[in-house]
Structure 1
Amino acid sequence: MSQITNPILPGFNPDPSILRVGKDYYIATSTFEWYPGVQIHHSTDLANWKLLTRPLNRASQLDMRGDPDSCGVWAPCLTHDGEKFWLVYTDVKRKDGSFKDAHNYIVSAPDIEGPWSDPIYANSSGFDPSLFHDDDGRKWFVNMLWDHRARPLLFAGIALQEFDAKVGKLVGPIKNIYKGTDLKLVEGPHLYKRNGWYYLLTAEGGTGYDHAITFARSRNIDGPYQTHPQKHILTAKDHPLNPLQRAGHGDLVETPDGQTYLVHLTGRPTTQKRRCVLGRETAIQQAYWGDDDWLHVKNGPVPSLQVEVPGARDDTDYWAEQNYDFTADHPLPIDFQWLRTPETERIFSLTAQPGALRLFGRESIGSWFEQALVARRQTHFSFDAETMLDFAPTDERTMAGLTAYYGRYNFFYLAATADADGRRELLIMSSEASFPDGKLRFPADPVVIPNTGSVRLALTIRGAALQFYYALDDAERTPIGPVLDASILSDECGGHAEHGSFTGAFVGMAAHDLNGMATPADFSRFIYRPFADPTDRHEV
C-alpha cells in the first residue's frame, strides 16, 4: 500500500463510474459536448491511470450538433456481466429551464476497446442512468426522474425498470424507489448487492459546493430504501477550507483482496472567488463495511487529500512536456478532442497537408453546431502551450490560432486574421461570462505581421494569470496583449450558476471562416508543458 494525493484523474473528468474485471480497473467519465463521447481510463493498481479509449466515436452512437454547452454526454455507467461490457449514457439536448430533453442509451462490447455496438434507446424520463446485473441474471435500469412542473420537484426520485437484453428494451413497470433526503436534487444512482441487501448510492445537493453522496439500503430491489444513519457518507459542504470541494457523484469498487474504494467527483477551487478551472475531477477514498452492514468512508465524510491505495504513483508522465506532431501514419493523439460533430472530415485532416493538422474553418468560435476546434484538457494549474501555424486569411472573417477555451461564454483566442484590406494581423479575442452582454472583448490592438510565413503562437498560464506570445519563424517570442484572467475558464464562469456549467478548461487549435468557404489552416506541432509551481498548494 502507498499513499497518493487526490485527484487520480486531474482535469475535466467528472461523474466517475468504476469497474474491476480481474486485475484491471476501468473508470468511465462524462465528456459532455466534447467528441468522441465518454473517457475510459485504465489502471491495475488504483494509483496510475492511463486514458484508454473513448467508445462513442461514430454518428450512429452519438451526434451532438446543436447540444448547448454542458449538455451532451452525462454520467456514463460502465459495468460487466461476466460476459461483456455494458455502457449506459445520456445525450442531453436541453438542460435550461423547466424541461430536460435527456435521452438514455445502452451500448455493449466484448472487449473494453470495442467494437462497441450501436445504441439501444432506453428512455428519456431523466438522466444519470446505470445498469445493475443481479445475481439471478436479471438486469435493472436505474435513472433519476425529472418532473418539469415545479421546483424542488424537478428531481422527483430514482426510477427502476427491468431491462431485457434479449429483446433490447426496458420491460415491466417503472417504480420510483427513492426520493432522497432533505438535501434534495437526488441523482447519480448506482445499485449494489451484498449480504442479502440491495444498496443504493446517489448524489444529492447539486454539483456545486453542497454536493454529497447519500447511501441507502433495502432487502428488496424495489424498496423501500432506508437512508444511511450518517445520511451523507461523503461531502465537503460543511468544510469550506478542505482542499477537495464539490465532493459527490461516486461509485464503488472492491479489490481482489476485499478492500472497498469509493471514487467520486471533486473540484479544487482557486482564487478568492473559488473558481474550479480544472473543472470537476475524479478522486478516490478508502471505505469499509461496518458490522452493521453499512458502508463508511475512512476519515469521512469529509474527502481526504491523501489516500492509501494498492499501487505507488509514478508522476513522470504527468509532469513531462508533451510534444505532439501530426502525421498521416498516426491518428489524432488521444489527448485531443473536438466539439459535437461526428463528421470529422469536415473539420480536420491529417493527410491534406503532410506533417500538419489541417483545420477547415467553419462556424464561429462558440458555435453549438460545427466549428473546427481541436484541443486537450488543461490538467495543471500552471502550464505553457505552443503551436506553429501556417495560415493565409483573406479578410476579417477568416481566423485561426491558439485558444484557451471553456465554452461559448468564456474563452481567450489569439488568432491570425486579416483586416479589411487583407493585411495579416494577430488579434486577441475574449468572451467573459462576467460581462452580461456576451459580446467579444478585444484586450489589445491588433499586431500587423507579414502576409506570408509561419507564425508561432504561445500562451503561459500561471494560476489565474494568462499571457499570450507570438514569434515569426524561429525568432524570440514576444508578449502580445495584457495579462488576462485565466480563472474565468471555470465552471463558475460558464454562463450559468455553479449547478449549470459542468466541463473544464481546454487549450488547443482553432480555425473559423465566417464566409463559409472552409479556409484551411495548418498546425505543424502542438506543445503542452506543465509548470510545477512549488508555491501552489492546489497542485497534485
Structure 2
Amino acid sequence: MPQDTIPNPILRGFNPDPSIVRVGDDYYIATSTFEWFPGVQIHQSRDLVNWRLLTRPLTRPSQLNMLGAPDGCGVWAPCLTHANDRFWLIYTDVKRYGRTTVGGASGASLRDFHNYLVTADAIEGPWSDPVHLNSSGFDPSLFHDDDGRKWLLNQLWDHRPGRNRFAGIVAQQYDPAAQALVGERRNIFPGTALGLTEAPHLYKRDGWYHLITAEGGTGFGHAVTMARSRTLEGPYEPHPDGPVLTARDRPHAALQRAGHADLVETPDGRTWMAYLCGRPLPNRGRCVLGRETAIQPMAWGEDGWLRTRDGSGDPELAPPSPGLQPAPWPAGLEWEDFDGLDLPIDFQWLRSPFPDELFSLVARPGWLRLFGRESIGSTFRQALVARRQQAFCYSARTVMDFAPAHFQQAAGLVCYYGASKFHYLFVSRDDEHGRHLRVMSALPDSPQADAFTAPIPLPDDGLVHLRVEVDYERLRFAFSLDGEAWTWLPEMFDASILSDEATAPGAPAFTGAFVGMACQDTSGTGLPADFDGFGYVERAYAAKVG
C-alpha cells in the first residue's frame, strides 16, 4: 500500500539547494556539496517518499579542483535538467566568498563565481568535461524552451560600492553546437522588496513564463518567490501574495529557513515543490543538520498562480504522498568495513581531486588508510574522510591502528563542520606523555578560539577504539583498548557549534556537520593511520553513557 504521508525532510542532513527532475518513472534531486569532494549529490526516488544517494558526478580534476578554496566555497546550487535525451548539469564553482569587502561596508565586495555545464547520456555517467559558461554570479540554471532554444539564468553579482550586491536575475541564450552563450545578456528580474534575489528556475505553463527565485537570504528569513511574464525576457510581474512558501516570521513552523525551490510534475499533472529547509535544535535554535531538502504538493489557482495547498505558504512537515507504488531502497549499513575497492558512497573528503594523495583502500586490504597530510582545517591537502550527520542523535565509532613518533603526528575521530568548528578526539605522542589521547576543539563563538583537554596516556602500541555519542547539543567522547570496556572522557562538548548559525560575523556558513576520520603529519613524512571500519547509528534521544 502507498504511504499516506511524506516525512520531511526527505534528504536529511546537509543537502541544500535542491534541483529536481523527473525522467520517466524516476525522480532525481541534485544538491550542493560546497568544499566536499566529489561534487554534487544526486538522489533518486520512484515514489517521492523513499530516496537513495545514487551518484556524485564531478569526480575528475578536469571537472572540479577546489584546492585552496575557503570554507563555504566550492560547488553551489547545481541545476539538473533532462532534454534531448541527455542530462544537463550546471553548477557554480566558488573560489572566493565571505570576508572580501574592500574599503569597509561601503566599499567593493569582491567574489569569484565560475559557472560550468556538464552533460551525460545516463544519470550514472560518464559525465563530460565542463564547458565554462560565465562568471557573472551564482545559482545558474538552464531552461529548455519549447521552441528548442536553451537559456542560461543566474544571479548577477554587483561588486561596486554602494550597489545592491544581488543585482537581479540575468538570462542569456546558450548554443549547444557552439558550446557557448550567444546574444545579449539581459537582466530580466530585479527581485522584490525582500531582496537578496537568487536561485532562479524558469518554467512555461499556459503561455506564461513562471520564474521562481529565492529571496530574503538563506537564513531564517528565507523565502520562495515567483513572478511571471508572457515573454522570456520580461517584464515579470511578482506573485500577488508575496512569498509562495516561507517560514520567515513563523516560529510555529517545524521546518525553518524554507527557500531555494524547484518544481516537478508527476505523470498525472500535479506540481510538487522541492526546497531547502532547516530544523533548529529545540534548546539552541541552531541547525546542526545544516540545510536539508523537503518536498510538498502545490496547487495552481484559477488565476494561474502557484500556491501551497491551503494558500498559507507554510512548509509542510508531513505532506500527503502522491500515492505512487512504494519503492523503498535497501537500508544503509550501520558498519562500513572498508572491504571494497571504492570508498562507500556516504563518505566524502575535502577539496582535493587527487584522493590517492589522501587515502587508500588497497594499501592494507580491509582497512581505510589515511596518509598524514596537512593540519586539520587546511584548505589544501587534508586527510579527512567523513560522512554527514543526518539525525539529532547518533552514535559513531571506529578502530584505529596508529603509531605516532612525535607531536606533529596525529589521527583520530572528528566531528567536523569547518576549519573553525570541530571537536577532534585524536591520538598523538610527545616526550612528556608518550602516546596519548586528547580532544582539540575549534570554537567559533568563544573568546578562546580553540581548546584542548588534558592528555590521557595510552600504551605505546596497539589498536585504539574511538567513539562519539551526540544527543542534540550534547557531545561525549569515549575510547577503548579492546572494543568492550569504554572509558568516557569527563567533558561534555557543545555539538551546536557544528552549525551554520555558530559563526563569526561575515563568515560563510552554508554546509553541515560531518563525523569521520582524520590524520595529520605536519612534519611532512606522511605517516599513515589505518581504520578498520566505521560505524554510524542513528538513535532515539538520550543514550546512556558512562
TM-score category, normalised to shorter length? over 0.9
Equivalent residue, structure 2, for 1:538:
none
Matched, 1:469 2:481: no
* Structure-2 change in CA distance of 1:346 and 1:391 (3 Å): same
Cα shift at 1:422: 7.6
Q: Output the amino acid matched with 2:499.
A: S
Equivalent residue, structure 2, for 1:325:
337
Question: What SS is found at the alignment partner of 1:32?
Answer: coil
Q: Deviations over 1:127-157 (max 9, x none)?
A: 0000000111110000000001245600000
Higher mean Cα deviation, 143-152 or 407-416? 143-152
In structure 2, how many angstroms separate the alpha carbons of the residues matched to 1:411 and 1:375? 12
Q: Output the amino acid matched with 2:377.
A: G
In structure 1, how many angstroms separate the alpha carbons of the residues matched to 2:417 and 2:61? 24
Equivalent residue, structure 2, for 1:58:
60
Give the counterpart of 1:441 among 448, 451, 460: 451
In structure 1, how many angstroms separate the alpha carbons of the residues matched to 2:389 and 2:432? 37
How does 1:346-385 map onto structure 2 within 5 Å? 346-385=357-396
Cα shift at 1:241: 2.5
How does 1:186-265 map onto structure 2 within 5 Å? 186-265=197-276
Do the aligned residues in 1 keep the contact of 2:445 with 2:503 (CA within 8 Å)? no
Higher mean Cα deviation, 521-530 or 478-487? 478-487
Do the aligned residues in 1 keep the contact of 2:341 with 2:362 (CA within 8 Å)? no
Do the aligned residues in 2 keep the contact of 1:393 with 1:399 (CA within 8 Å)? yes
Give the counterpart of 1:26 among 25, 28, 35: 28
* Structure-2 change in CA distance of 1:331 and 1:127 (3 Å): same
Q: Deviations over 1:434-469 (max 9, x none)?
A: 12563x201x21101011100000010011110000
Equivalent residue, structure 2, for 1:149:
160
Equivalent residue, structure 2, for 1:450:
459
Question: What SS is found at the alignment partner of 1:487?
Answer: helix
In structure 2, how many angstroms separate the alpha carbons of the residues matched to 1:282 and 1:226? 28
Cα shift at 1:313: 7.3
Do the aligned residues in 2 keep the contact of 1:78 with 1:86 (CA within 8 Å)? yes
Do the aligned residues in 1 keep the contact of 2:71 with 2:508 (CA within 8 Å)? no
Give the counterpart of 2:420 among 384, 406, 409: 409
In structure 2, how many angstroms separate the alpha carbons of the residues matched to 1:152 and 1:451? 61
Q: Deviations over 1:22-46 (max 9, x none)?
A: 1100000000000000000000010
Higher mean Cα deviation, 334-343 or 294-303? 294-303
Name the TM-score, length of structure 1 as normaliser.
0.95
Matched, 1:503 2:511: yes
Give the counterpart of 2:77 among 75, 78, 83: 75
Do the aligned residues in 1 keep the contact of 2:138 with 2:156 (CA within 8 Å)? yes
Do the aligned residues in 1 keep the contact of 2:426 with 2:438 (CA within 8 Å)? yes
Question: What SS is found at the alignment partner of 1:230?
Answer: coil
Higher mean Cα deviation, 91-100 or 504-513? 91-100
In structure 1, how many angstroms separate the alpha carbons of the residues matched to 2:31 and 2:389? 16
Do the aligned residues in 2 keep the contact of 1:321 with 1:530 (CA within 8 Å)? no
In structure 2, how many angstroms separate the alpha carbons of the residues matched to 1:415 and 1:395? 13
* Structure-2 change in CA distance of 1:408 and 1:312 (3 Å): farther
Equivalent residue, structure 1, for 2:103:
none
Name the TM-score, length of structure 2 as normaliser.
0.94
Give the counterpart of 1:484 among 485, 493, 502: 493
Cα shift at 1:493: 1.3
Give the counterpart of 2:431 among 408, 412, 420: 420
Q: Deviations over 1:393-434 (max 9, x none)?
A: 111110000000000111000001001358110011000101
Equivalent residue, structure 2, for 1:516:
524
In structure 1, how many angstroms separate the alpha carbons of the residues matched to 2:313 and 2:162? 28
Q: Output the amino acid matched with 1:277.
A: V
Q: Deviations over 1:329-348 (max 9, x none)?
A: 43110000000000000000
Do the aligned residues in 2 keep the contact of 1:459 with 1:469 (CA within 8 Å)? yes
Do the aligned residues in 2 keep the contact of 1:410 with 1:488 (CA within 8 Å)? yes
Cα shift at 1:82: 3.3
Gap regions ≥5 residues in structure 1: 536-540
Higher mean Cα deviation, 483-492 or 422-431? 422-431
Cα shift at 1:371: 0.4
Cα shift at 1:480: 1.6
Cα shift at 1:316: 9.1
Do the aligned residues in 1 keep the contact of 2:386 with 2:517 (CA within 8 Å)? yes
Matched, 1:140 2:142: no
Do the aligned residues in 2 keep the contact of 1:47 with 1:312 (CA within 8 Å)? no
In structure 1, how many angstroms separate the alpha carbons of the residues matched to 2:371 and 2:508? 31
Equivalent residue, structure 2, for 1:86:
88
In structure 1, how many angstroms separate the alpha carbons of the residues matched to 2:162 and 2:265? 37
* Structure-2 change in CA distance of 1:8 and 1:151 (3 Å): farther
* Structure-2 change in CA distance of 1:514 and 1:313 (3 Å): farther
Do the aligned residues in 2 keep the contact of 1:286 with 1:297 (CA within 8 Å)? yes
In structure 2, how many angstroms separate the alpha carbons of the residues matched to 1:235 and 1:53? 30
In structure 1, how many angstroms separate the alpha carbons of the residues matched to 2:525 and 2:396? 29
Higher mean Cα deviation, 19-28 or 95-104? 95-104
Do the aligned residues in 2 keep the contact of 1:393 with 1:422 (CA within 8 Å)? no
Question: What SS is found at the alignment partner of 1:529?
Answer: strand
Q: Output the amino acid matched with 2:510.
A: F
Question: What SS is found at the alignment partner of 2:492?
Answer: strand
Q: Output the amino acid matched with 1:501.
A: A
Equivalent residue, structure 1, for 2:136:
125
In structure 2, how many angstroms separate the alpha carbons of the residues matched to 1:152 and 1:11? 35
Do the aligned residues in 1 keep the contact of 2:412 with 2:426 (CA within 8 Å)? yes
In structure 2, how many angstroms separate the alpha carbons of the residues matched to 1:245 and 1:314? 28
In structure 1, how many angstroms separate the alpha carbons of the residues matched to 2:76 and 2:148? 27
Do the aligned residues in 2 keep the contact of 1:361 with 1:511 (CA within 8 Å)? yes
* Structure-2 change in CA distance of 1:236 and 1:114 (3 Å): same
Q: Output the amino acid matched with 1:65.
A: L
Equivalent residue, structure 2, for 1:289:
300
In structure 2, how many angstroms separate the alpha carbons of the residues matched to 1:346 and 1:151? 45
Cα shift at 1:194: 0.8
* Structure-2 change in CA distance of 1:277 and 1:175 (3 Å): same
Q: Output the amino acid matched with 1:283.
A: A
In structure 1, how many angstroms separate the alpha carbons of the residues matched to 2:490 and 2:72? 30
Equivalent residue, structure 1, for 2:401:
390
Cα shift at 1:315: 8.6
Do the aligned residues in 2 keep the contact of 1:3 with 1:312 (CA within 8 Å)? no
Do the aligned residues in 2 keep the contact of 1:186 with 1:204 (CA within 8 Å)? yes
In structure 2, how many angstroms separate the alpha carbons of the residues matched to 1:340 and 1:16? 21
Cα shift at 1:314: 8.4
Q: Output the amino acid matched with 1:445.
A: A
In structure 2, how many angstroms separate the alpha carbons of the residues matched to 1:109 and 1:315? 26
Cα shift at 1:516: 1.1
Q: Output the amino acid matched with 1:348.
A: F
Count of residue pairs the alignment pairs up: 530
How does 1:334-345 map onto structure 2 within 5 Å? 334-345=345-356
Q: Output the amino acid matched with 1:486.
A: A
In structure 1, how many angstroms separate the alpha carbons of the residues matched to 2:488 and 2:433? 24
In structure 2, how many angstroms separate the alpha carbons of the residues matched to 1:512 and 1:434? 25
Gap regions ≥5 residues in structure 2: 101-108
* Structure-2 change in CA distance of 1:140 and 1:313 (3 Å): same
In structure 1, how many angstroms separate the alpha carbons of the residues matched to 2:428 and 2:539? 30
